[in-house]
Structure 1
């Protein structure tokens, strides 16, 4: 895996992990006041900084697993079950 491919894979994993982590710990505002800028059902405290850090850590762990899988011979298109028949 080249560095460019690694960065692209990490960013894709990061975005998917972000959308998986966003709902955790979110409590809706039951008494939202539209005149004050709030709305019923909007999160009281989104904690986006904490969720971004958690997403970064989770994405790094998943990326290391994918990198190890790509580097290993367990999943190889050059030899083994997934290889093309030779000439």
Structure 2
């Protein structure tokens, strides 16, 4: 795997993990806390930096697992048995 491919795979993993991690710990404001001009579902304290850090750490773990399984162990799509019988 080349460096460009590795960056592309990491980028896809990072965005996927971001959308999984983003809702964790979000709190929506109560009616009395709602400011004029904001929607009801707007989080009160989104902590985007913290979410990006958590996303990066989880993505590194997932990417290292992917890299070891595909490059070191040699596991690939051809190793997955066929689901359709008779093919």
TM-score (norm 2): 0.78
**Number of aligned residues:** 78
Structure 1 gaps of 5+ residues are: 83-87
Give the structure with higher Rg (CA).
1
Alignment partner, residue 40 of structure 2: 40
**Runs of 5+ in structure 2 lacking a partner?**
81-87
Structure 1 residues 43-86: Cα deviation after superposition (integer angstroms, max 9, x where no partner): 00001000000001110110000000111344157xx957xxxx
Deviation >4 Å, runs of 4+: none
Normalising by structure 1, report the TM-score: 0.78
CA offsets per residue over residues 21-58 of structure 1, 9 Å max, x none?
0000000112223x2x3222210000100000000111
